[in-house]
Chain A
């Protein structure tokens, strides 16, 4: 039996290995009272949490077939912990493990072999790239992968939809009783926002650290009250892969043009005034937008309230120059961000739940004025795909995309109109990640389209001399340049379920041919 959800995607009623499908029904539905999961807490009266090795961890935690193990992605492509733990799991002959890794990077390629050997049969993640993403797209994972948003993963953990048996927290600094921070040590990564729900709601929480310090730790991001065991290893990650030195503004003239147009749109929206709040990605064009917004704020002497998200040195600079009262940091992208997070009281951390969980008493995205987003594809209903390429291969995932789009007063997608001869605008996106209802404006170098739901914005942008047109017209311009692409065929098998932030299913991903 088939269901049609609110953005007209066809879904099965029931998916093997996933369960009953709750179809996506809108961004402001599914908001009645929620119950948080009950957690069973192992009491620890002594001071002995330190274990000798990961092998001892596996034994002590009683890790067995069928369990769900979780990891965070603050060490990004420099992470060693996932591979270390899963290697040990495989060595012990354990199988049918579900891994819940908040984001998966190329460094996690060894998981593919674990998938092939049946060690790993399920994946929960907010973002997938590299060999694992390709393998999942080709159908190598036993159960369909479940793709969450950053806020949605926190929701799932807190209410028990995602039940974690053991959470492994890669810890740049951990004291002998389990107080963890991300700012001290050779593998410093800054905020540990994505790890917090895991630590709090897993049945067992294990800190894996390369930097054990005497009790008590200087600053505490994850408290001892949540940590069962600690194990020390030589290195939890490669600093070069954890952070980039500095993140750079794009030099590409097309990216700069898009950024320029975006800053004008933001100004024209009327939101750029005292109290302004802002979030943007870490890519070159997004940073260029921040640069242009900064110029306007300075020239008009505007004091913003906060900037949020993954924090880069560029945002730190704006903050230190007094343009924002505070920063809300769910992950640090570079060394400058880590320094600022460590030293400045008003550069504050936020957990993944505080950031974007729709089922708590209010998350940060609800306060966002402007959000700058990317897109692999966008369709004429403004639905955005950041999960798969146009050929259907998984190469990303929502991350915070859907959360911030839903919360922000003005959600802007910035992208080139075509990418290597592929038009970004299509009739129907291959995979819907973020519903069009939450996307307000599309800005490309050749024109701007405003969601028809936002007549108020159309009024404001009318006299700007900025090539505002319908999204269909913009699509025709793209196709005029590239021609009309042929549709790629997919196979029947469902390889991933794309959940919206509230746990409903917004789309599914099928196996690539």
Chain B
């Protein structure tokens, strides 16, 4: 849970213009998409283009993920072979199952060894978008140490359930809460499903606040215009920032006095609370930047 991952922006993988600009769109992470954004006849084209882009384009510190094709397709394995070679920050695995994660983890270790990368350099992000994936999420997440977050994919999930996907999102309340809970238990990021109406900014704010309120730590975006709005929604409130400042100040004072633990407002302050305060100050910095 180290990196800030408030937004993860999907970028179509076969589009050089968008790949080149991906790094300046202010998203915390970008997902270069080889799957749904690319037609079947262009999978090879996108793969090579994304591979070259990762190697040559400056993403200015944005986290780079690649959504490969599912292992169940003819493209998935080749995607991993080509893309892992250029060391993206992570791979996003569609319709992830335990076996998929195990297979990919092993493949990545081999490639990392061959290429001289640090073992575990390439992280994993399972995409939870099937009922199987949702119900077996804990087991899936435990299959690899590379997993640093999970993305909930409500479009495919509701299709799997045979139910209607709505803007209000009542139908995915269970899925959201479960994902948030399991991700927290595994100490990884819980990323919410994208909001698909790119013209409804009010709807996006509501949806993001809802996700935040049940424990999601970030949200996928499918259009650059959504990025700032999602950041604003995830920004800590002024009271939270004030409190965090006081926690950190007290921590400094306690340290100077040689005290291990201390209390603030009658509450005992220990390591997790201090870590959370740092996290909030980190987000607060970004709050000043968003318009």
Contacts and interface: CB of A to CB of B under 8 A. Distances in A.
B289 A253 contact: no
Contacts of B224: 253, 256
A264 B291 contact: yes
A64 interface: no
A257 B228 CA distance: 10
A420 to B, nearest CB: 10
B86 interface: no
A465 B289 contact: yes
A263 B24 contact: no
Nearest first, the 6 closest Cβ-Cβ pairs linking A and B are A253-B224, A445-B24, A260-B291, A254-B21, A253-B25, A465-B289
Q: Which of A257, A465, A477, A480 has its CB near the most chain B CB atoms (within 10 A)?
A: A257
B26 A263 contact: no
A212 B24 CA distance: 55
Interface string A123-142: 00000000000000000000
9 contacts: A253-B225, A254-B21, A257-B24, A257-B25, A257-B26, A260-B291, A445-B24, A465-B288, A477-B58
Nearest to B18: A253
A81 B225 CA distance: 44
Contact of B21 (A251, A253, A477): A253
Interface in B11-45: 20-21, 24-26
Interface residues of B, number: 13
Interface string A471-485: 000000100110000
B199 to A, nearest CB: 11
A48 B157 CA distance: 82
A80 interface: no
A295 interface: yes
A254 B26 CA distance: 11
Interface string A242-258: 00000000010110110
B92 to A, nearest CB: 21
Interface in B192-213: none
A455 to B, nearest CB: 24
A477 to B, nearest CB: 8
B37 to A, nearest CB: 16
A295 B291 contact: yes
A260 B228 CA distance: 11
A263 B289 CA distance: 12
A256 B225 contact: yes
B56 to A, nearest CB: 9
B269 to A, nearest CB: 29
Interface in A447-467: 465
Contacts of A481: 20, 58
A490 B21 CA distance: 33
A95 interface: no
B26 to A, nearest CB: 7
Given A253-B224, A481-B20, 20 more contacts: A251-B225, A253-B225, A254-B24, A256-B224, A256-B225, A257-B24, A257-B25, A257-B26, A260-B228, A260-B291, A263-B291, A295-B291, A296-B291, A445-B24, A446-B24, A465-B285, A465-B288, A465-B289, A480-B58, A481-B58
Interface in A217-276: 251, 253-254, 256-257, 260, 263-264
A497 B58 CA distance: 41
A445 B24 CA distance: 7
